[in-house]
Amino acid sequence: MTRPKVSQRLPDFPWDHLAEAADRARAHADGVVDLSVGTPVDPTPAVIQEALRAAADSPRYPTTIGRPETRQAAIDWLGRRHGVRGLGLDGVLPVIGSKELIASLPGHLGIGPGDLVVHPALAYPTYEVGTTLCGARSFATDSLTSLGPEVPALLWLNSPSNPTGRVLPVSHLRKVVDWCRERGTLLVSDECYLELTWEGEPAVSVLHPDVCGGSHEGILAVHSLSKRSNLAGYRCAFVAGDPALVGELLAVRKNLGLQMPAPQQAAMIAALGADGDAAEQHARYASRRARLRSALAAAGFRIDHSEGSLYLWATRDEDCWTTVSWLADRGILVAPGTFYAPVGSAAGARHVRVAFTASDERVDAAVARLA
């Protein structure tokens, strides 16, 4: 019997469809301005690099649970920066990048065929990938009433949102927490952009007592150092929340040998304490965002949401691929909104996602081309 390939069950990798536009953008006389992916380009802060170097002599296997100092640094950061209280060492687990965790989490928590996983209508594609890999069904919606009587096994939140930059208020987060607890639904909040807000009220973690009522039961939050501290290449992230759920993840991951290397843990500890470096990076992004936003508005774009994250959710009220093509002709590469919606959905079809993670020189080039 010939088994179907796992890759055939997965959606197409979105960026493969951007190849023609990317080639056209690269042909620009002054080179491409790639705003299609939110990857850091600025240097990793020196204190983090030094911590990695100092820990380079690391001959022993690390433990899956991570060093106590690593987990305590995460607890301290959540408390100091985000008002989270009541976390213990058994409620934190370092992981090898947040994407790996997001893709594997449903299966590692026993979700499978017959289960329903809900994620936002416009969302990071890895939520759907993780659901597909474990054999569950995914449903994209921003309205819980659309589920009717069906109870999901897992619900993903993402605030600030990728791709729209929308920031969910405390009152909304609290309602979702209550809804999930009444039904026994596991709630996982992707908070990788938590410190990257630009307008309105700061984003708030689901672990904050104003949201969860002081109890982390049934809740997990995912955090990444990639964007905050220019650590995408280090693969430093962690999950925190309900100790029972963290313990279940730990038990599975120990059997799989999923361990964050000790040098990266040293770097993560340094990054979580480097609030000053994070503030400097925040200011860099704020400046790039302001310049791109003004240039896009002057070129006839409307910016929707975009209060947080590292993206501008932009539209000219036309098909998103028409916008992608128009920008590619000017040497600017962006992501079409349809990358973040289920196949066949109209969500995102008239927007593009514009990252402002390029260097100052490349952002200035984009601004000039849009003028």
Q: What is the mean pLDDT of residues 138-160?
A: 94
Q: Given 3.20.20.70, 3.40.50.10790, 3.40.50.360, 3.40.640.10, which CATH number is that of 48-273?
A: 3.40.640.10
Q: List CB contacts of 256: < 8 A, sequence separation 6 or more.
A: none
Flag whether pLDDT at 5 surpasses 70: no
The number of helix segments (H) and strand segments (E) in the chain equals 12, 13
> Is the CA virtual torsion 100, 250, 266, 270 positive or negative?
positive
Answer whether 0.85 is exceeded by the pTM. yes
pLDDT confidence bin for 344, thresholds 50/70/90: confident
Query: Cα torsion for 287, 356, 341, 297, to the nearest 10°?
Result: 60
User: What pLDDT, in 10s, does the model give residues 84-93?
Assistant: 999 999 999 9
- State yes or no: pLDDT of 266 exceeds 80: yes
Residues 6-43+276-370, CATH architecture: Alpha-Beta Complex (3.90)
Mean pLDDT to the nearest integer, 296-320: 97
- Do the domains at 6-43+276-370 and 48-273 have one common CATH topology? no
| 38-83 per-position pLDDT tens digit | 999 999 999 999 999 999 999 999 999 999 999 999 999 999 999 9
Q: Could you tell me the residue ranges of all domains in the chain?
A: 6-43+276-370, 48-273
